[in-house]
Amino acid sequence: MNGRTHSLRCRPGRWPGATGRRPVLQQAGYSLYGVLVALAVVACATAAEAGQVLRLEPKSAHELEVTVPERGTWELKTTGVDPFITTGPFAAGSADATVLTFEYICIGTVKPFEVFVNAPWTESRAQTVDELPYSEGWTTFALNLQAARERGGAAITHLRLDFGNAPGQVIQVRNLRLRAPDARESGVDLVRTARRDADRALDQRLRNYLGRNFPAAVSEVIVRADEIAVSGRISGVPGECWLAESPLWQPVPVEGPFARVQRLAPTADGTFATVVPRRVADGGGTRDRLLTRWLVVRAAQGADEAVSAAHYAETVTPRHAWPEFFATSKKGLGGFMVGRGDLAGDPAELGISSVTVNLFLSRFLRAQASAKTFPFTRNGRTYHADRTEVEKMDRTLRAAAERKALVFGILLVPKAGSWDSPALGRIMQHPDCEPAGTYSMANVTSAEGVETYAALVDFLAERYSRPEQPFGRIHHWIVHNEVDAGWTWTNCGEKPPVLFLDQYHKSMRIAQLVARQYDPHARAYVSLTHYWTWTANFRYIPGREVLRHLLAFSQVEGDFDWGLAHHPYPESLRDPRTWQDKKATFAFDTPLITFKNLEVLAAWVKWPAHRYLGRAVRSVHLTEQGPNSRDYSPAALAEQAASMAYVWQKIRALDVIQGFQFHNWIDNRREGGLRIGLRRFPDDAEEPLGKKPVWHVYRALDTPDEAAATAFALPLIGIKRWDEVIHRGPITGEP
């Protein structure tokens, strides 16, 4: 939430720069700018590990309720208009230790956020930012207090943190430190400026590419076991034309250099069709052209000219040609895993027929062979899978298979520090990923990044698509998490929207093309929050804009039947009374899509221009959402259960919504104070893991018990019949 290529001309049949191992910076095309970015990243990682550890002093809290949900984490609930808390005093560090940094979750925006340096607390020694942005996951915040320290004239030994001016906010904070500025904060601002300028220029070039009319086109690419069939047309292009390859990591595929593959001889009507080998020799090994983008180039002096857009494969001949698998009901469960003891019976009791499974990729891949790994290969290169983690996933997926559940694997790329070696982490993490991100975008900017990511997805797709399902099965692939909130969940720096979608679209293509080798119906899903035309964080991209850009890439580079993994939480994640949502309207330009106005999402996917190839309505699953109980009081638990009963009437009536995977199974202390589970906290003092009323409502849905189990919700919502919650009018405006 960019790759580069260097300018060496390549002979036919070779990728640009395919021979030898270039340094990562050269692969990415970075010159001085790239070196500075790399140095800044290294310096940031080093600085993040150093510095003075700080602790908050609960006794100092003013208009704040302070609790400790788990060791090292403070939960702060504002109770008035002047909420603040101080740190415990600490020894003065070096004079340049001026950067306050911490991780936080805040389901809301704190405006303003102010830090005072050293008592007595005066505005002359305060540093203020407009907001502590909304964040649903752990996000790193950093503020340089240098100016406030200079005004105070002394080394920093004490801080006061002021969290806005409104009651009712809940903020979780951990890992507070005071450290020296990293490279980006202390004089290498030109790095960010250079990156921002380069990204804007690249974003504009991509926009130009997507809007360009070409005289030629590649219209179809079919990948078979040993060959690839490519067809298209050429109209009014003088001179010699060639079929050429553009590597996936090349930022703008028509800017070259190009690897010529075969000279084209169009028929009288301008069409052409040819077959090329799927695998070619490459530097002593082989290269699979599964992920290649194909285009037509015109031979010219100096450099060939692209006369068509690039085109991915649409069709892959699968190893197994079984029919598509569908869930038997719309009831699902998010974050499924085995090993939860007394909860093993929940899926059967609840009637679950679909699940999501988190695939933290760093857990499966190891840099070197050991007694704890086993090998797998792709394109002649050997990789090493962690035996323990793979076997854990086997157990989870076998349990899902025993229930005949539809399974969605969520591909999550942990940041570099989570991998078992720094070198492997740098290969897998997107090079522009910022510390603020919970997870990274896949590294689609270099040959090695693409190949390693594809190899790991290939390993998982092959293992979990075998006949007889010896290890279980994954049917579909949710690519990363909530990419419209990419700064938090799928980070690749502060990218302009089209450039961000270029990176994400490539990751989706990799997942779908690799998985289609084994299952003809495997599908990549785009993961979106409830934000639609508005966001609460200035670094996010509205969901509708994400989809528009994804459609543009699909239409230009070959449509593929991606689906939507939407998360339509209520307007406030804390308030389950979604029927009161103000920002959820029945117009295509609604700020949010929540439980209240799911009809808008259904109408959007049915719109002819949004369908796959203009014909098939895209698959929609609601893969992460659950109404919250603000506490465990009877009133709060009743509202949570009523919200579930409410949204189920919508889901039942909307045929395009194929599933609802309830998140979370169990209340989680690490979700910013939310209680969105079907069961209580595992460490709840009164009833650990207790079934909440929403558990019983969810169990009853679509059973003979439903009417009796949900009747309590009608007066609470303010209706007499359930059909009153269905919107039967038009969806206004333009989609």
**In the predicted structure, residue 170 carries a pLDDT above the cut 70:** yes
Strands (E), 235-301: 241-246, 259-263, 271-277, 279-282, 285-288, 293-298
678: Cβ contacts below 8 Å, ≥ 6 apart: 346, 350, 626, 662, 664, 665, 666, 691, 692, 694, 695, 698
**In the predicted structure, residue 187 carries a pLDDT above the cut 90:** no
Domain end (from 179, 214, 236)? 179
Residue 11 lies in a domain: no
The answer to whether residues 237 and 360 belong to one domain is no
Residue 734 lies in a domain: no
CA-closest candidate to residue 296, choices 229, 244, 364, 339: 244
Q: Give the three-state DSSP class for 376.
A: strand
CA-closest candidate to residue 209, choices 313, 327, 311: 311
**In the predicted structure, residue 9 carries a pLDDT above the cut 80:** no
3-state helix, strand, coil split of the chain in percent (to 5) is: 30, 25, 45
619: Cβ contacts below 8 Å, ≥ 6 apart: 523, 525, 561, 563, 564, 658
Give per-residue burial for 260-270: e unless 16+ CB within 10 Å, then b: bbeebebeeee
Residue 457 lies in a domain: yes
**In the predicted structure, residue 42 carries a pLDDT above the cut 50:** no
- Predicted local confidence at residue 107, as pLDDT: 85
CATH of the domain at 238: 2.60.40
Cis? peptide before 257, omega within 30° of 0 = yes
- Predicted local confidence at residue 184, as pLDDT: 62
Residue 250 lies in a domain: yes
- What is the rounded CA–CA span in Å between residue 78 and residue 730? 41
- What is the rounded CA–CA span in Å between residue 522 and residue 475? 6
- What is the rounded CA–CA span in Å between residue 686 and residue 631? 13
Mean pLDDT computed over every residue of the chain? 90
The answer to whether residues 400 and 463 belong to one domain is yes
Average pLDDT over residues 341-363: 93
The answer to whether residues 655 and 584 belong to one domain is yes
**In the predicted structure, residue 213 carries a pLDDT above the cut 70:** yes
**In the predicted structure, residue 19 carries a pLDDT above the cut 70:** no
Average pLDDT over residues 444-473: 97
CATH of the domain at 343: 3.20.20.80
The answer to whether residues 160 and 244 belong to one domain is no
**In the predicted structure, residue 208 carries a pLDDT above the cut 80:** yes
- Predicted local confidence at residue 615, as pLDDT: 96
Least confident of 71-80, 474-483, 635-644: 71-80
Question: In total, how many domains does the chain have?
Answer: 3
- Predicted local confidence at residue 303, as pLDDT: 87
Average pLDDT over residues 677-684: 95
Residue recorded with tokens 């949010």 = 592
Per-residue pLDDT band for 150 (boundaries 50, 70, 90) equals confident
Return the percentage of the chain with pLDDT > 90, whole number.
78
**In the predicted structure, residue 33 carries a pLDDT above the cut 90:** no
**In the predicted structure, residue 16 carries a pLDDT above the cut 60:** no
- Predicted local confidence at residue 215, as pLDDT: 96
Q: Give the three-state DSSP class for 71.
A: coil
CATH of the domain at 55: 2.60.120.430
Give the model confidence (pLDDT) of 219-250 as tens digits. Answer: 999 999 999 999 999 998 999 999 999 999 99
- What is the rounded CA–CA span in Å between residue 347 and residue 331? 10
Three-state SS string over 360-374 comes to EHHHCEECCCCCCEE
Residue 459 lies in a domain: yes
Average pLDDT over residues 389-413: 97
Give the model confidence (pLDDT) of 270-316 as tens digits. Answer: 999 999 999 999 877 889 999 999 999 999 887 899 999 999 999 99
Tell me which amino acid residue 676 is.
Answer: I
The answer to whether residues 584 and 445 belong to one domain is yes
Return the percentage of the chain with pLDDT > 70, whole number.
91
Residue 16 lies in a domain: no
- Predicted local confidence at residue 700, as pLDDT: 98
- Predicted local confidence at residue 50, as pLDDT: 66
- What is the rounded CA–CA span in Å between residue 678 and residue 345? 14
Residue 466 vs residues 101, 360, 462, 502, 722: alpha-carbon distances, Å: 47, 21, 7, 32, 43
Average pLDDT over residues 585-612: 98
* Token reading at 184: 């980006």
- What is the rounded CA–CA span in Å between residue 295 and residue 311? 6
Residue 730 lies in a domain: no
The answer to whether residues 151 and 208 belong to one domain is no
Residue 3 vs residues 374, 420, 441: alpha-carbon distances, Å: 32, 25, 13
Domain end (from 114, 145, 179)? 179
**In the predicted structure, residue 409 carries a pLDDT above the cut 50:** yes
- Predicted local confidence at residue 282, as pLDDT: 85
- What is the rounded CA–CA span in Å between residue 415 and residue 44? 13
Residue 658 lies in a domain: yes
Q: Is 256 in contact with 9 (CB distance < 8 Å)?
A: no
- What is the rounded CA–CA span in Å between residue 557 and residue 206? 12
Q: Give the three-state DSSP class for 587.
A: strand
575: Cβ contacts below 8 Å, ≥ 6 apart: 628, 630
More confident position, 194 or 348: 348
The answer to whether residues 32 and 106 belong to one domain is no
The answer to whether residues 345 and 453 belong to one domain is yes
- Predicted local confidence at residue 564, as pLDDT: 98
The answer to whether residues 36 and 61 belong to one domain is no
More confident position, 613 or 4: 613
The answer to whether residues 130 and 197 belong to one domain is no
The answer to whether residues 285 and 377 belong to one domain is no
The answer to whether residues 169 and 241 belong to one domain is no
Which residues form the domain of 249? Answer: 24-42+191-316
Least confident of 150-164, 321-335, 626-640, 704-718: 150-164
Give the model confidence (pLDDT) of 435-450 as tens digits. Answer: 889 999 999 999 999 9
Give the model confidence (pLDDT) of 47-81 as tens digits. Answer: 444 688 999 999 999 999 999 988 899 999 999 99
Domain end (from 179, 207, 227)? 179
**What's the first-to-final CA gap in the chain, in angstroms?**
23
